[in-house]
Amino acid sequence: MSEPTSKSDTPGTTHFGFRDVPTGDKQKLVGEVFSSVAGKYDLMNDLMSLGVHRVWKRYFVGTAQVKRGDRVLDLAGGTGDIAALLRDRVGEAGSVVLGDINGAMLRVGRDRMVDQGKIVGFEYVQLNAEKLPFPDASFDLVTIAFGLRNVTDKDAALREMQRVLKVGGQARVLEFSEVKADWFKPIYDFHSFNILPKLGKLFANDADSYQYLAESIRKHPPQDELKAMMAAAGFARCDYKNLSGGIVAVHTGYKV
């Protein structure tokens, strides 16, 4: 089931899961997926990771280079899981901008923060990660969790993350990646392509979106390729750490 390449071989097209689609259509197609699953996003993550995504996210934020008073941008911020954790780290003097291209996801995140009483220190911006509406050197930390694989032009998004970082700032990417243990790969594929869509149909009445999400993981650049992409985007000291045997990886780069 593995599809090692992340780019289409056909000019003018890109991957939407395992399908080749016109490059200009991917944003709309991905938007339809996330508008469909916005209300069930936490359930989706639980189904995809068997609940372990909560541990991954805490590690991702807990090991980030961030301090009290910092200004942080969380891209593909979705329902606000990462933003809420970051808010605790930057404190009352800091601020977190939660950005997402999908309005439905952004509304879910905003409503969740309000329901939790987390109002001060948050900004919500509907944006495209490939062209960020912020000046150069605006943030101490930029994060994107489980969102980069859905961006059409990942190289452009990485360059924009580097641009809006302050010198000395850190960028972090948390994303599903390439499983390393050969014995586990068939088990992982079976869960992804046989179990996950059925669970999506059962719990969210949406098998197709979950099928796409499983396919998008296989199309995402594996660890060393993404590390090279971050270096090409201008980041220094690029590195990654595999979690859960490479099911996900945390990528880090710095602006110098």
Do 251 and 175 contact (CB within 8 A), yes or no?
A: yes
Residue whose C-alpha is closest to residue 69's, from 136, 166, 154: 166
Is residue 128 marked as binding? yes
Helices (H) and strands (E) in the chain, counts: 10, 9
Q: How far apart are CA 233 and CA 217, in angstroms?
A: 22
- Torsion, Cα 194 22 225 3, to 10 degrees, reads 30
Is residue 129 marked as binding? yes
**Residue located via tokens 């605006």:** 138
Is residue 242 marked as binding? no
Query: Residue 160 belongs to what H/E stretch?
Result: helix 154-164
Is residue 204 marked as binding? no
Enumerate the known binding-site residues for S-adenosyl-L-methionine. 79, 100, 128-129
Annotated binding-site positions? 79, 100, 128-129
